[in-house]
């Protein structure tokens, strides 16, 4: 039996997609007979899926399994509405082929083009155009030919060359499983015959690639994973990426015994002839034909979250078996799905598709998505909620990723700290405007200075007068404000200083980003906890009054959120402790 075929079904509303799926399931014997008894409306076989859609499920794709005597299938059914771009992308991400439904009476619609563009963008190269409801146009060959010609011209324009057009009546079964006696003018395959004959994937065209999913310690070390492309044999020399080492394969082990060769799709465990430095997330590749390695990419992003992209925010990036942190820069543009025109964009919102640069915390070994879905696809995850916010398709590495390298310095941060006789720390003061962050930070620095400690205070307002004078107070600007402040603090710590930073820093994600930048052991989060009512009562700068009057937009606590720390190193309750006592508490915590 040929290998498993994964297919995507999509179409505009009322094109008859549910009826077609029902016909496939019924005529292929995929549904229990007791469910078929007396069932005249075939769409009801698939419409149970609509109940889930009505519940607001986040990723709204239904997967159905069926088989014939010649092949097994997994069908991804996606909604036809414009607002379901994320679900269309989810269903298309691992499909080999798309079945695109068109109503013979309506022809190729805007939604038809949208679905085809997204499917092609997600790497689908093979399409079946099912021209449905031929019974409603009298099974007319000219009506079918008009639709076929129109779509063929459009498909060629977007780079789709493999298209099979089939006239069908899903309701009556014509050309779905059995040839139609009412369309003898059509000499091509039925829908199910075309699916049974369809080719899958193109991974064999690439040299050997396998992401390490697990390290097994048994009679030495075995590195387990699923072969993504190519073949491997004992004696082959493999590169271990993103590092620069290589080793010779000694054994290829499976649950059923050793193999002389492993190919794409097989799950194996490789053992090398010598001990190597290799772990989960690394990529094993043919040493004479390795993939690219970089930490900066251009990628297509399909935004899947209700919360918009915040350029400069640090997200988790999952690429194959590797998970790293990544910063997404402001999009270069977003795509108008109907036309694929490039539109200016500052961010991406739910269901939008755009192109942006990503910078990862460490290099990744990859292939462009067009060459390999497994090695070119990624997802972005919110660090705080753990929710998937975007799917990404890597286009290429940026040239600057190859040309910019960290410079080794003769005088290290450790030597500078030793010269000053202190351990650099970052004291990060966070809280609402008017909470007393700057006041307390000033008092702490005065005490450090009196003890002969070398320090520097980065105050939020002062930094905005210089380094960050180009930034406003939108959510994206706040993210960039904290990113720059964290980078500046890291440089000062490398100089051996104890750094105090007093910033509202309203978002947990950015405070976590700074923690990662300087190292968790060097980061002291101090929550200056003042209730909004008290901060607003103080209003020493008159900012709350302006915000309440509508003269100051995006003000934290009024029309922009503040996310308090969940587990700060120090919490200062300013209703129970004055600034002097708070300063003493912080210095005591440092042991200075």
Q: Using N-to-C axis directions, what is the helix angle for 508-518 and 475-494, rounded to 10°?
A: 20
Give the CA angle between residues 423, 429, 430 to the nearest 5°.
145
Tens of pLDDT, residue by residue over 359-397, are 999 999 999 998 888 899 999 999 888 999 999 999 999
Lowest model confidence (mean pLDDT) among 39-48, 166-175, 305-314, 550-559: 39-48
Query: Does 142 score more than 50 pLDDT?
Result: yes
Please tell me which of 118-127, 279-288, 535-544 the model is most confident about, judged by mean pLDDT: 279-288
Rounded to an integer, the average pLDDT of 332-356 is: 89
pLDDT exceeds 50 at position 204: no
Boundaries of CATH 2.40.30.10 in the chain? 203-286, 293-401
**Superfamily in which the 293-401 domain is placed by CATH:** Translation factors (2.40.30.10)
Question: What is residue 209's three-state secondary structure?
Answer: strand
Which range has the top average pLDDT, 29-43, 50-64, 337-351, 354-368? 354-368
Predicted pLDDT of residue 91 = 79
What is the per-residue pLDDT for 60?
61
DSSP class of residue 454?
A: -
* Contact in structure between 361 and 325 (CB atoms under 8 Å): yes
Residue 538, preceding peptide bond in cis (omega within 30° of 0)? no
Selection from 301, 305, 303 nearest residue 58 by Cα:
305
- Residue 56 confidence (pLDDT): 38
Lowest mean pLDDT among 23-27, 101-105, 235-239: 23-27
Which residues, in sequence order, are bridge partners of residue 427?
A: 500, 524
Confidence of residue 15 (pLDDT cuts 50, 70, 90): confident
CATH of 415-590, one of 3.20.20.80, 3.10.20.90, 3.40.50.300, 3.30.465.10: 3.40.50.300
Mean pLDDT throughout 495-519?
A: 94
- Position 401 scores a pLDDT of 53
Higher per-residue confidence, 94 vs 124: 124
Of these ranges, 150-164, 198-212, 431-445, the one predicted with the greatest mean pLDDT is: 431-445
121 three-class SS: helix
List, in order, residues 6 or more apart from 508 with CB less than 8 Å away.
384, 563, 565, 566
Q: Is 399 exposed, middle or buried (0-12, 13-18, 19+ CB in 10 A)?
A: exposed
pLDDT of residue 64: 81
Could you tell me which residues come within 8 angstroms of residue 501 by beta carbon, excluding any fewer than 6 positions away? Answer: 426, 427, 428, 429, 441, 457, 458, 485, 489
- pLDDT at 84 (0 to 100): 64
Residue with the two structure tokens 């799926």 = 21
pLDDT in tens, 60-110: 667 788 888 888 888 888 765 555 677 777 778 788 899 999 999 999 998
CA distances from 51 to 56, 76, 319, 445 (A): 10, 16, 33, 61
DSSP, residue by residue, 165-204: EEE-BTTTTBTTTB--TT-TT--S--HHHHHHH-----GG
39 has pLDDT over 50: no
The interaxial angle of helices 110-121 and 141-157, nearest 10 deg, is 40
Q: How confident is the model at residue 486 (pLDDT cuts 50, 70, 90)?
A: very high
Q: Is the pLDDT of residue 201 over 70?
A: no
Enumerate the CATH 3.40.50.300 domain ranges in the chain, comma separated.
5-197, 415-590
- Distance from C-alpha of 588 to C-alpha of 384, rounded to nearest angstrom: 31
pTM score of the predicted model:
0.77
Contact, 431 vs 504, CB < 8 A?
yes
Mean pLDDT of 472-480: 87
Confidence (pLDDT) at 405? 67
pLDDT tens by residue, 287-335: 999 999 999 999 999 998 999 999 999 999 999 999 999 999 999 999 8
Closest to 118 measured CA to CA, from 94, 153, 92: 92
Q: Which two tokens stand for residue 14?
A: 């009322």
Which run of H or of E encompasses 100? Answer: strand 97-103
Strand order in the sheet with 498-502: 455-459, 498-502, 426-430, 523-529, 570-573
Q: Which has the closest alpha carbon to 53: 77, 74, 23, 30?
A: 77
Which range of 23-37, 50-64, 386-400, 435-449 scores highest in mean pLDDT? It is 435-449
What is the spatial distance between Cα 209 and Cα 240, in angstroms, rounded to a whole number?
10
Residue 409 has pLDDT above 70, yes or no: yes
**Top-confidence residue, 241 or 48:** 241
What is the pLDDT, as a whole number, of residue 293? 93
Q: What backbone phi and psi angles, to 5 degrees, belong to 50?
A: -65, -30
pLDDT band at 408 (very low <50, low <70, confident <90, very high): confident
Burial of 469 (0-12, 13-18, 19+ CB in 10 A): exposed
CA distance 495 to 425: 11
Kindly state which CATH superfamily the domain 5-197 is placed in.
P-loop containing nucleotide triphosphate hydrolases (3.40.50.300)
Q: Smallest Cα–Cα separation from 189: which of 395, 221, 198?
A: 198
Residues linked to residue 360 through DSSP beta bridges, in sequence order:
326
Is the separation of the CB atoms in 264 and 227 below 8 Å? yes
Supply angle C-alpha 136, 148, 95, rounded to 5.
100
Average pLDDT along the chain: 87
What pLDDT was estimated at residue 192? 94
Q: Could you tell me whether strands 498-502 and 426-430 are parallel, antiparallel, or unpaired per DSSP bridges?
A: parallel
Query: Residue range 153-167: average pLDDT?
Result: 91
Angstrom distance (rounded) from CA 76 to CA 88: 9
The Cα 8–Cα 78 span in angstroms is: 8
Three-class secondary structure of residue 400 per DSSP: helix
Per-residue confidence at 239, pLDDT binned at 50, 70, 90? very high
Tokens of 544: 């709350």
**Residue 584 pLDDT grade (very low, low, confident, very high; cuts 50, 70, 90):** very high
Integer Cα distance of 57 and 1 in angstroms:
35
Residue-level pLDDT at 121 = 86
What is the CATH superfamily name and number for domain 203-286?
Answer: Translation factors (2.40.30.10)
């Amino acid at each position: 039996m040929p290998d498993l075929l994964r297919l995507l079904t999509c179409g505009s509303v009322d094109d008859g997609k549910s009826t077609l799926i029902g016909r496939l399931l019924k005529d292929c014997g995929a549904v229990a007979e007791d469910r078929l008894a007396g069932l005249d409306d075939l769409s009801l076989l698939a419409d149970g899926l609509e109940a889930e859609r009505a519940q607001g499920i986040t990723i709204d794709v239904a997967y159905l399994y069926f088989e014939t005597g010649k092949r097994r299938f997994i069908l991804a059914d996606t909604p036809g509405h414009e607002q379901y771009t994320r679900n269309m992308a989810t269903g298309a991400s691992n499909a080999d082929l798309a079945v695109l439904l068109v109503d013979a009476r309506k022809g190729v619609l805007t939604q038809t083009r949208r679905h085809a563009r997204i499917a092609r963008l997600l790497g689908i190269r093979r399409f079946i155009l099912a021209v449905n409801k031929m019974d409603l146009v009298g099974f007319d060959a000219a009506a079918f030919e008009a639709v076929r010609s129109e779509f063929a011209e459009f498909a060629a324009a977007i780079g789709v060359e493999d298209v099979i057009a089939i006239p069908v009546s899903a309701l009556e079964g014509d050309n779905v499983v059995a040839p139609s006696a009412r369309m003898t003018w059509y000499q091509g395959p039925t829908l199910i015959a075309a699916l049974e004959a369809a080719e899958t994937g193109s991974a064999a065209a690439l040299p050997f690639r396998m992401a390490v999913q697990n390290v097994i310690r048994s009679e030495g070390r075995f590195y387990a994973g699923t072969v993504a492309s190519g073949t491997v044999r004992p004696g082959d020399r493999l590169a271990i990426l993103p590092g620069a080492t290589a080793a010779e394969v000694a054994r290829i082990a499976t649950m059923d015994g050793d193999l002389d060769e492993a190919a794409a799709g097989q799950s194996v465990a490789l053992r090398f002839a010598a001990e190597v430095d290799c772990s989960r997330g690394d990529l094993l590749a043919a040493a004479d034909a390795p993939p690219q390695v970089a930490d900066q990419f251009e990628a297509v992003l399909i935004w899947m979250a209700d919360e918009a992209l915040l350029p400069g925010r640090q997200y988790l990036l999952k690429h194959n078996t590797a998970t790293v942190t990544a910063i997404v820069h402001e999009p270069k543009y977003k795509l108008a799905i109907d036309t694929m025109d490039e539109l200016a964009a500052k961010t991406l919102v739910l269901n939008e598709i755009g192109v942006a640069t990503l910078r990862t915390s460490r290099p990744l070994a990859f292939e462009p998505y067009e060459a390999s879905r497994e090695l070119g696809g990624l997802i972005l995850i919110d660090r705080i909620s753990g929710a998937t916010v975007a799917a990404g398709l890597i286009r290429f590495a940026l040239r600057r990723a190859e040309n910019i390298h960290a410079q080794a310095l003769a005088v290290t941060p450790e030597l500078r700290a030793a010269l000053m006789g202190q351990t650099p720390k970052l004291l990060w003061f966070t809280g609402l405007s008017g909470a007393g962050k700057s006041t307390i930070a000033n008092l702490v620095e005065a005490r450090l200075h009196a003890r002969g400690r070398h320090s520097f205070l980065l105050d939020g307002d002062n930094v905005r007068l210089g380094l960050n004078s180009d930034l406003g107070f939108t959510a994206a600007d706040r993210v960039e404000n904290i990113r720059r402040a964290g980078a500046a603090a890291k440089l000062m710590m490398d100089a051996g200083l104890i750094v105090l930073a007093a910033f509202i820093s309203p978002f947990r994600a950015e405070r976590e980003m700074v923690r990662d930048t300087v190292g968790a052991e060097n980061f002291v989060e101090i929550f200056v906890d003042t209730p909004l009512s008290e901060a607003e009562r103080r209003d020493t700068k008159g900012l709350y009054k302006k915000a309440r009057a509508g003269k100051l937009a995006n003000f934290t606590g009024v029309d922009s959120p503040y996310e308090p720390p969940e587990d700060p190193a120090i919490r200062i309750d300013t209703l129970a402790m004055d600034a002097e006592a708070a300063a003493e508490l912080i210095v005591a915590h440092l042991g200075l």
